[in-house]
């Protein structure tokens, strides 16, 4: 039976991870088991750890949190034979502006994510995991807690899972409001009960993660894709997308579209088709001005750059990123000065303050943009914004500095006329 989610589905979707979302009681273990649940785990139990990792490698699955690192390769970095305990940590700190998909995966199919974690546990010889959920998602922490309790009760967590002899304990862990904790090493510090400050890499978490033990960290969506990969094979998953960009992803479309929503599409899906056909086009016959392809950290694309296939490599070729799947559509009436300012207010607020280029850079960029928006803009501010941002690139401790600089550089370079218009207006006013 169909149920209404946050938005209506599109007939153009390819539902792999979201295929059970609209089943009545899709969040329950009974529903999950009745619809193919835990078959992948039982299949993985018969495979060697190497075979599991190879299958994930063959799937061309790439991290769905934002960076797009090949998942199978990340799994292969965890030293299975380490005498230390190995941990699995799920990044459910979904906070990249424009992104709202992990919510749905945890709300409508939490057992799919849990099964993915267990399969990773088999591959890593890991027996303990934590789902780090942002504090604002309290209802989801409680929702996932109920799913975990049900799994324990029915023998799908704890000792001797599904009669296989495999043991795994899984817990939720609440964040308390900090974008920076989505960065994997900051998340680990936060999980240890500290301020979420990024760590120097190397060592990478695969070698020395939480409590200095080998740790596998993946996004909710990444783990949720694993059962499908094991059950139907890595190749079938890879074939859904484009070369080196396997599978589908949950695209969060927001902004100026008639039907904003979360829709599942194969990697490589045409951006304009997503905007015009899936999301119903731009309201009131307005023209497209710009698109944030994958969360506010990504360089913005101008309308004439949007005739593009959405996969990691194609977006990288045009100097942007597929990111977290948060696609923000802006129509011709959008004032890019206001967009740049709002994005920078966010990064200045969320900079953890650990390194100076990020802490001071975001603060100064915010001040310049605020002054500009308030009507005090100067001609030299436009190159200054670009120069300051470029000075941050690659010089900060973690990716937050780049995340703040990249959209700003792209806005200043691609939408200089929005800044010039403001300056012209002020000249008239004087």
Partner 1 sequence: MTFSPQLEERFQKMLAAYPEGRKRSAVVPMLIYAQDETGAVTPELIDEVARRCQVTPLQVDEVVGYYSMLHRKPQGKYHVQVCTNISCLLVGGMELYEHACKKLGIGHKETTADGQFSLEEVECMGACSWAPAVEINYDFHHHITPEKLDQLIDGLRKKQ
Buried-exposed string 97-111: b where 16+ CB fall within 10 A, e elsewhere: bbbbbbbbbbbbbbb
Size of site (CB under 8 A) for partner 1: 58
Least separation, in Å, of the C-beta of 284 and partner 1?
Answer: 13
Tell me if 326 sits within 8 A of 262, measured CB to CB: no
Least separation, in Å, of the C-beta of 402 and partner 1?
Answer: 18
Decide: is 298 part of the binding site for partner 1 (CB under 8 A): no
Query: Which x/- pattern, by CB under 8 A, does the window 177-196 give for partner 1?
Result: xxx----------xxxxxxx
Decide: is 176 part of the binding site for partner 1 (CB under 8 A): yes
43-47 contacts at long range (C-beta below 8 A, 24 or more positions apart): 43/230, 43/231, 44/119, 44/122, 44/123, 44/230, 45/122, 45/164, 45/166, 47/122, 47/230
Decide: is 248 part of the binding site for partner 1 (CB under 8 A): no
Tell which one of 352, 365, 403, 411 touches partner 1 (CB under 8 A).
352
Q: Choose the binding region for partner 1 from 118-126, 171-179, 305-313, 366-374 (rule: CB under 8 A).
A: 171-179
**What is the DSSP code string of 340-359?**
HHHHHHHHHHH--SSSHHHH
Nearest to 98 by CA among 299, 301, 296, 264: 296
Decide: is 158 part of the binding site for partner 1 (CB under 8 A): no
Least separation, in Å, of the C-beta of 213 and partner 1?
Answer: 9
- Alpha-carbon distances, residue 401 vs 100, 177, 203, 360 (angstroms): 22, 19, 21, 10
How many beta carbons lie within 10 A of that of residue 24, not counting itself?
Answer: 9
Decide: is 171 part of the binding site for partner 1 (CB under 8 A): yes
Decide: is 7 part of the binding site for partner 1 (CB under 8 A): yes
CA distance 86 to 70: 20
Decide: is 199 part of the binding site for partner 1 (CB under 8 A): no
Q: Choose the binding region for partner 1 from 39-47, 136-144, 214-222, 384-392 (rule: CB under 8 A).
A: 136-144
Contacts with partner 1 by CB under 8 A lie at: 6-7, 85, 94-100, 102-103, 128, 130, 134-139, 171, 173-179, 190-196, 211, 252-256, 260-262, 292, 296, 326, 328, 330, 334, 338-339, 342-343, 346, 349-350, 352
């Amino acid at each position: 039976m169909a149920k209404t989610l946050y938005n209506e589905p599109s007939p153009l979707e390819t539902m792999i991870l979201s295929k059970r979302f609209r089943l009545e009681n899709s969040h329950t273990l009974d529903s999950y088991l009745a619809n193919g649940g835990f078959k992948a785990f039982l299949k993985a139990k018969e495979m060697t750890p190497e075979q599991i990792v190879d299958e994930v490698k063959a799937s061309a699955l790439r991290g769905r949190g934002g960076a797009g690192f090949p998942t199978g390769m990340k799994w292969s970095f965890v030293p299975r034979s380490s005498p230390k305990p190995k941990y699995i940590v799920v990044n459910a700190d979904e906070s990249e502006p424009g992104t709202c998909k992990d919510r749905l995966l945890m709300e409508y199919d939490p057992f799919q994510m849990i099964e993915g974690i267990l399969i990773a546990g088999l591959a890593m010889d890991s027996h303990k995991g934590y789902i780090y959920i942002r504090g604002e998602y309290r209802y989801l922490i409680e929702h996932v807690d109920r799913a975990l309790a049900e799994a324990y009760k029915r023998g799908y967590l704890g000792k001797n899972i599904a009669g296989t002899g495999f043991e795994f304990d899984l817990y939720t862990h609440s964040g308390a409001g900090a974008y920076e904790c989505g960065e994997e090493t900051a998340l680990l510090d936060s999980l240890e009960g500290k301020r979420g400050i990024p760590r120097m890499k190397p060592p990478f978490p695969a070698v020395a993660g939480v409590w200095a033990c080998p740790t596998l960290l993946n996004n909710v969506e990444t783990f949720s894709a694993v059962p499908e990969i094991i059950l139907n094979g890595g190749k079938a998953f890879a074939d859904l997308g484009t070369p080196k960009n396997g599978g589908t992803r949950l695209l969060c479309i927001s902004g100026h579209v008639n039907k904003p929503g979360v829709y599942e599409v194969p990697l490589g899906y045409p951006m304009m088709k997503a905007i015009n056909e899936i999301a119903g086009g731009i309201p009131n016959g307005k023209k497209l001005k710009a698109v944030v392809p994958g969360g506010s950290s990504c360089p913005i694309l101008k309308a004439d750059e949007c005739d593009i296939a959405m996969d990691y490599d194609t977006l990288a070729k045009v100097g942007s990123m597929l990111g977290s799947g948060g696609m923000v559509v802006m129509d011709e009436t959008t004032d890019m000065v206001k967009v740049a300012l709002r994005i920078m207010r966010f990064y200045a607020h969320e900079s953890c303050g650990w390194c100076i280029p990020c802490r001071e850079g975001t603060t100064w960029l915010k001040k310049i943009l605020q002054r500009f928006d308030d009507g005090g803009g100067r001609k030299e501010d436009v190159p200054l914004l670009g120069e300051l941002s470029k000075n941050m690139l690659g010089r900060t401790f973690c990716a937050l500095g780049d995340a703040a600089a990249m959209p700003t550089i792209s806005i200043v370079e691609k939408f200089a006329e929005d800044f010039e218009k403001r300056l012209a207006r002020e000249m008239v006013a004087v």
